[in-house]
Structure 1
């Protein structure tokens, strides 16, 4: 039995499975098959699967007369790129935009519309580089962030996010192409790189701290610099392949991999939006195990995790200094703390004790009153008390664990003996992906 002899439902199922390219070929066989291969319901499925669009629109967001026409316009607009790569980049941005729209609409509003091929060529001409295809596609869909918005509210709207330790504040946003040119020229001149360098600046910290991400237009790797201008890869080298070394549907570069991994961490809750002093931002401190430790002692919960700080690291000195920021979040569960058969609705921190290891060897112990000069009073069911500090290590792998000493009720009015609250060991490790 030929395709023309199949029933409408069977034919629809077959064409759905064959995909848009083969469906277009089937349409050339006969008039009856052309009619079946042109059904709107069929092309709406292809548009949904390949482009995640539920209404017929073109790449500019304008209405198209049909799903079939919309699909054709998309293919025509991106004809110079492997289609599987187009779908992958589109999926990456869709995932990021969806998460941002649900969790951080203020940052989502800073994303700019994509650029044209002409605008990409202008950047390449001015900076004398050739951008990897995946990077070009990333900018075709989204031209970074509107910097005037991203820098508002103290520079907290960067979609990559950041951290703060004492006066050191970081919040990273993606540059639009116009800022890529400006920042690249200024940065290269400032750090003394050759004007013929293949590095371009694609992301920076909106806050005062100097954190910059460089894309190598030759090998597609993404780098960030240490305090001594040593370039650290932000994506595992084993994953980054030159666009000339792989087939069309396998083309990759670090910037795309970097954003895909960032989207995965946001979607799975590894990192989240944090609100502090009524300002929201994406915090890079991990929120779930194993990167975040969790312990509950007598009703006091302590969560702790760390972030590598490349911009203040010094890997040229001997021994090297790998710097990490760490965040400790403590709270009292709604039931309060339970000591010697008595419930207390509050307790207050008095003392801290840390054991710090590098490569499993203890390199320091810390004992002292308070944390960053504060004695947090925890109330049952209230929000976490959060504090950040930092430490440097001579190795790429370390850990911190310890305990806090609390008194039931408060230091001014204690209602029982002091008790220890455990801080489970949490890792400080040079990460595979640096954000």
Structure 2
């Protein structure tokens, strides 16, 4: 009786009702023996909506004949990933757009899709299928090519003689090492420091499948703890997209850095403007047993003087004063001449920046202070305020496994705070 009442409605209303059905229900209507319902369920508007909803396709990419054929052409290739395709593809679309605007060289370094044979090889090595969202992502972009001068997707960091660059690695990188056999795949890697981010693909590492964290040495199979970046691969990819879109991420000459500027971290004293950007340094941060840790944070101090300032405002930096407090409440001060051995002169239009770092015995903290300058005309000394800036490492997940300190090095591996020279 209900069916009879439905069929008594005008075509326009039936199509509106069908428009609320999901794909599975609509396919059943297409297969329906009722000729009228079968015809109405083939409405172009319905299948256009589904093509946009499931495949983000607004152009009828795969068929010039009908939106229904277009939908099923997509489904033939991507149907296995229907539950995650939109989130994964949307994140990659955002990443591509951000790179085109901010780092074109990095955008051109992104590889195309992986071959199915490579996916099969990795799954054979692991003895289990890849998480669907991860396999879907590889079928969109399979890491990036390392091209000199083109930049890297996860960012560069240069402090003193330390240089790290996180490259998004192709799936083949994992075929050549032991990672799949211990339940993880590398997402990024640094050729200089041999560290990177990995994703759990089974439960062997002791973390949830899909969890992304930093791995600092390939050979380590037991861990005192992990720096967890995301609880799932999709979350990691979306965080990457958000980071690349954020104007506060420092991009220097189209090269992505790992420095992020706190929007409120700005101070102006006597026409000298100071801003600060910070970055966690995972490859030089350690977690030992008994919950002891040493985390390292880099910071970039930038100073500018507006070109319209009268020349009488010109000044020269003499010394620095820092006050450092970690998240456990430990406090200490640092005083010293110059910054990294330099005495920059600030005059109208001048710009100066430098990088340093500080280790902490906790998961974060904050730092603030001032620089003492001398006015080049009057000889007056005055302090230029450096606003408070914060440090925070990724979430820490401690392991119950016993770990020998030799596997991780000793706590003396990192020098004391304020390595400026």
Establish whether TM, by shorter chain, passes 0.5.
yes
**Structure 1 counterpart of 2:164:** 170
Q: Partners of 1:84 and 1:380 in 2: how far apart?
A: 57
| Cα contact 1:332–1:379 (8 A) shared by 2 | yes
2:256 matches 1:262: no
SS in 2 for 1:235: strand
Residue 327 of structure 1 pairs with residue 323 of structure 2: no
Number of matched residues? 382
Counterpart pick for 1:209 among 179, 189, 193: 193
Alpha-carbon distance in structure 2 between the residues aligned to 1:51 and 1:334: 51
Residue 46 (structure 1) aligns with: 50
Q: Is the 8 A contact 1:132 1:217 kept in 2?
A: yes
Distance in 2 (CA, whole Å) between partners of 1:388 and 1:223 is: 26
Partner of 2:69: 69
When the two chains are superposed, the root-mean-square deviation of aligned CA atoms in Å is: 3.2
Instruction: Measure, in 1, the Cα distance between the counterparts of 2:396 and 2:275.
Output: 22
Q: Structure 1 pair 75/22, CA: closer, same or farther in 2 (3 Å)?
A: same
Given that 1:223 and 1:231 are in contact with CA atoms closer than 8 Å, whether structure 2 keeps it comes out as no
Deviations along 1:337-366, one digit per CA (max 9) or x if unpaired, are xxxxx7756443222111122236454322
Partners in 2 of 1:233 and 1:143 — Cα distance?
25
Q: Choose from 352, 356, 359 the match for 1:385.
A: 352
User: Would the aligned equivalents of 2:322 and 2:334 in 1 still touch at CA under 8 Å?
Assistant: yes
CA distance in 2: counterparts of 1:51 and 1:233, whole angstroms: 35
Q: Which moved more, 1:34-43 or 1:91-100?
A: 34-43
CA drift at 1:141: 1.8
Are 1:355 and 1:362, in contact at CA under 8 Å, matched by a contact in 2? no
Matches within 5 A, 1:405-416: 405-408=372-375, 413-415=376-378
Give the 3-state SS of the residue equivalent to 1:84 in structure 2.
Answer: coil
Residues 349 and 23 of structure 1: CA distance in aligned 2, closer, same or farther (over 3 Å) = farther
Match of 1:428 among 386, 391, 402: 391
Q: 2:131 & 2:244 partners in 1: Cα distance?
A: 26
Deviations 1:56-93 (A, max 9, x none): 224xxxx6644322221222223334x22122212221
The partner residue of 2:371 within 389, 401, 404 is: 404
Structure 2 partner of 1:90: 89
Q: Note the alpha carbon deviations across 1:288-333, whole angstroms, 9 max, x for none.
A: 346xx22222332211232221211233389632111111122224
The 1:7–1:346 alpha-carbon spacing in structure 2 relative to 1, beyond 3 Å, is farther
1:180 corresponds to 2:174? yes
Question: Taking structure 1 as the reference length, what is the TM-score of the superposition?
Answer: 0.77
DSSP-derived class of the 1:109 partner: helix
- 1:287 pairs with 254, 257, 261, which one? 261
Paired position in structure 1 for 2:322: 354
Once the two structures are TM-superposed, the CA of residue 16 in structure 1 deviates from its matched residue by 4.2
Alpha carbons of structure 1 residues 379 and 47: separation in structure 2 relative to 1, 3 Å: farther
Q: Which runs of 5+ in 1 are unaligned?
A: 189-194, 241-253, 337-341
TM-score by length of 2: 0.79
* Contact persistence 1:328–1:386 (CA under 8 A): yes
